[in-house]
Amino acid sequence: MNDIFTARGSMLIAGVTVNGSTVDIAIDEEGMIAGIGKDARKTIDADIIIDGSDRVAIPGLVNTHTHAAMTLLRGYADDMPLAEWLSEKIWPLEAHLSGDDVYWGTKLACLEMIKSGTVAFNDMYFFMERAADAVDEMGLRATLAYGFIDLGMEEKRAAEIKATEALVAHVKARKNPRIQAAVGPHSVYTVSPEGLSWCAEFAEEQGIAVHVHLSETEKEVTDCVAEFGKRPAVHLDECGCLTPRTVAAHCCWLDEAECRLLGERGVSASHNPASNMKLAVNRAMPYHWLKASGANVCLGTDGCASNNSLDLLEEMKFAALLQKFAWNSQTLLPAGEAVAMATSAGARALGTGPGTLTAGAPADIVLLDARAACNIPLHNTDSNTVYACNGGAVMTVLCQGRVLMHERTVPGEEEIVREAAAAAQALVGRAREA
Ligand SMILES: C[C@H]1O[C@@H](n2cnc3c(N)ncnc32)[C@H](O)[C@@H]1O
Ligand SMILES: [Zn+2]
């Protein structure tokens, strides 16, 4: 079975269930889906055959907002309001982070994501060159942004600009087609208008994404109105940060006009329901307004200190339930739309392909256990995927035709778990001594 992780060549997933039909999925040597259907096995001479009986195939999941290395902070500070949680617990601990911490924290995040069917993620954190090492080795896709925070200080801004430029140059020089750089202005409450404008211009010049937090709490909105005389989305827009390359995380407190603005600018809005509920931000993303505006609504987990896991199968359920509950509508965000948020919308946000199981798409494929209780009976794949299954049902994961997990085995798992646990313990120890 070990060969399957290193094998390169054409591949056939034989007799797998896709949307209720039994089909073959043929994958070419470039890792693209060559054909899908009853006769797809004829399109290639497969070097490797994966038995798809007892498996349900869905497109690989895309996590459009996380802070991957925050796996090391899992369970470190829970059950607190956002502002206090960040300033009293999270930021003081993050001040002690090292590059090695980010490497092992990101490796653990990648492991957890692969185990729950995620093939691509949008990350904002620190020491991102080391995050790139982790992603490189784990084989999934990532868009990596340095978390730009200037707190209105000119000196700090110069340092953040340097760090951002260095990361972008580093990622470009790596030439790994699975890894992209983005610019990551943290939010309107941590980045000055000058900083936001620089981020927008630099991203435009480089042709790369902008990854930002937007309207997470009511306080963010009232503080922004008090300081700048406008709401956060309008402020971001005036600084040039709202573009079709922008992923705005949370979007909980947007008003209807701001939702229209995001739609007009072609922004991707990343819904993070578990984090929003845990931090009691007290308003769910207005999905109905964003959908009507034409914004690209996608899904994220946020970091492991506010979720506290990276399981997009769970997150789809949280999204579908939270929207219904918060907006008092049983028909809002049905299962099929929740799956699209986590697949095609996510892929569009990160530019990683169509995010569908179709010929010509990258072979980013998740095989779920059709024999798991959550898939019995299989009246409707979308329904079981969103409402019944969690990451534990994921058996095999492919990214660009490469097998990242097979029959729940991920190469190197033991070392990652051991090293990440040690790094987390040492990090907390350093913070205590300080
Ligand atoms: C990139 C920066 O974002 C912080 N961070 C993590 N979670 C959230 C959240 N829900 N809201 C705002 N900032 C967050 C990280 O702790 C890091 O400091
Ligand atoms: Zn976040």
For the stretch 290-311, pLDDT in tens is 999 999 999 999 999 999 999 9
State the pLDDT at residue 39: 81
Nearest to 142 by CA among 166, 109, 169: 109
Overall CATH class of domain 3-58+359-408: mainly beta
Question: Model-level pTM?
Answer: 0.98
For the stretch 130-174, pLDDT in tens is 999 999 999 999 999 999 999 999 999 999 999 999 999 999 999
For the segment 400-412, the average pLDDT, to the nearest whole number, is 98
Across the chain, mean pLDDT equals 97
State the pLDDT at residue 8: 80
Range with the poorest average pLDDT among 3-17, 129-143, 237-251: 3-17
Check: CB of residue 148 under 8 Å from CB of residue 199: yes
Pick the CATH number of 61-350 from 3.10.20.30, 3.80.30.20, 3.40.50.620, 3.20.20.140: 3.20.20.140
Please give all residues whose CB falls under 5 A of ion ligand 2, grouped by chain where several chains appear.
302
For the segment 378-395, the average pLDDT, to the nearest whole number, is 98
ipTM over 0.95: yes
Where does CATH 3.20.20.140 sit in the chain? 61-350
Confidence check: pLDDT of 2 > 80: no
State the pLDDT at residue 3: 86
For the stretch 304-341, pLDDT in tens is 999 999 999 999 999 999 999 999 999 999 999 999 99
Pocket of ligand 1 (CB under 6 A): 67, 86, 90-91, 94, 124-125, 147, 186, 213, 216, 275, 302-303, 306
State the pLDDT at residue 275: 98
Where does CATH 2.30.40.10 sit in the chain? 3-58+359-408
Amino acid, res. 307: N
Report how far ligand 2's centroid is from the alpha carbon of 81 (Å): 14
- Binding-site members are 65, 67, 94, 157, 186, 213, 216, 302
Q: In testing the pocket of ligand 1, which one of 186, 215, 247 has its CB within 8 Å of the most ligand atoms?
A: 186
- Give 318's contacts (C-beta < 8 A, 6+ positions apart): 273, 274, 277
State the pLDDT at residue 392: 98
Range with the poorest average pLDDT among 32-46, 140-154, 254-268, 277-291: 32-46
Q: Which residue intervals of 57-153 are DSSP H helices?
A: 82-84, 91-94, 99-115, 128-138
For the segment 118-124, the average pLDDT, to the nearest whole number, is 99
Check: CB of residue 389 under 8 Å from CB of residue 417: no
Check: CB of residue 57 under 8 Å from CB of residue 22: no
